Amino acid sequence: MAEAPAVATVAAMNYMPQAAAMAASLRRFHAETPLYVVLAGTRRRAPALERLGARVVSPDELRVEGLRGMMLRYGCKELCAALKPIAIEMALDAGHRTVVFVDPDMLVLDTLEPCFREASAHALTLTPHIGPEEAERPEEELERALLMAGMFNGGYIGASDCVEARRFLRWWGERLRRHCYEYVEAGIHYDQRWLDLAPGFVADLHVCRHAGCNAAYWRLGRMRLEQRGEAFLLGGEPVRLFHFSGYQPEAPEFVTRFRPGWRVEETGAGEALFRLYQKRLQEAGWRRGAQEEPDLPESYRVLQFVRRARRAAARWLRQ
């Protein structure tokens, strides 16, 4: 069985520049770390990722139960989220004792060895959206938002090859096969709200509270970000993995679509970090208006419209 941890991710064709930028940043610090990329769509090849040594896998190679139905009713974001546990299990099946899942819209900024060690020492590793610093400067609006979106962020997940982790991944995958929507009124926010139940399923659950692992906009407003040469520190800790959640490269002056109007120039050292990401995306092939279309059947749009209409009707009846 392979000793080295593997990294896995899921990306649709319209997210190839982000996935390639993440893969290239991983290679700067971990040239030999196995990288698995599951394509969310019908394509079977991703040359830009293959050139970086990634093992690219199409969903049909995974033999996923109910995949056809998932591709019909899910949009790109939903399908990518639903395939996360399947991607992790695929890498475990390949013989790796530990797999670390990272979202494609991340950038590796320092060695991930500490993250790999923590993930290898536990059955399941999750990262919370907030840390101990939140108790010092509580923000009720953020806390209420997390009650809707989930305590743990699904952008970073560590899993070891053990009974507890495998059992959880199978359960999580089954739930996401049918319930991976943004439907907060029903307690569902893509893959994330299901993670709130992980402490009950996995006794050896580790909560990684290092601010620099899966750092993102939700930390920038609470902790000081510093730049030292090409490195970044958050609360004095190295930023190893930054998650550009909600960042839109066609609007590079803004931090995230989840907090409209927040400009990167208002984040201090964060401005240099976002400019770096924009540069890395361009190096990976991103060009305004040149993104590929999502590689999903057109029929899912009809089913998506019907589903949204039903929810709207249900909300109206409850009023």
CA distance 34 to 99: 10
Residue 200, in any domain of the structure: yes
Whole-prediction pTM value? 0.89
> How many structural domains does the chain have?
1
Residue-wise pLDDT for 119-165, tens only, equals 999 999 999 998 887 767 777 888 888 888 899 999 999 999 999 99
Give me the residues paired with residue 9 across strands. Answer: 37
In 3D space, the residue among 103, 95, 69, 87 whose CA is nearest the CA of residue 172 turns out to be 87
Supply the range of the domain harboring residue 104: 6-212
In 3D space, the residue among 220, 215, 223 whose CA is nearest the CA of residue 133 turns out to be 223
The alpha carbons of the chain give a radius of gyration, in whole angstroms, of: 19
CA distance 232 to 33: 23
Asked if 33 and 6 count as a contact pair (C-beta separation under 8 A), the reply is yes
CA distance 261 to 84: 31
User: Are β-strands 205-207 and 188-189 bridged in parallel, bridged antiparallel, or unpaired?
Assistant: unpaired
| 283: its two tokens | 């190096």
- Residue 168: predicted pLDDT: 98
Q: What angle do CA 54, 126, 25 make, to 5 degrees?
A: 30
Residue 172, in any domain of the structure: yes
- Residue 9: predicted pLDDT: 98
Residue 183, in any domain of the structure: yes
Residue 181, in any domain of the structure: yes
Question: What is the CATH number for 46?
Answer: 3.90.550.10
In 3D space, the residue among 251, 236, 160, 149 whose CA is nearest the CA of residue 194 turns out to be 149
Asked if 4 and 33 count as a contact pair (C-beta separation under 8 A), the reply is yes
Residue 220, in any domain of the structure: no
Q: 136-150, 190-204, 213-227: which has the minimum mean pLDDT?
A: 136-150
Residue 293, in any domain of the structure: no
Residue 73, in any domain of the structure: yes
Is pLDDT at 208 greater than 80 in this prediction? yes
Place of tokens 């050292």: 269
Residue 196, in any domain of the structure: yes
Residue-wise pLDDT for 275-295, tens only, equals 999 999 999 999 876 555 555
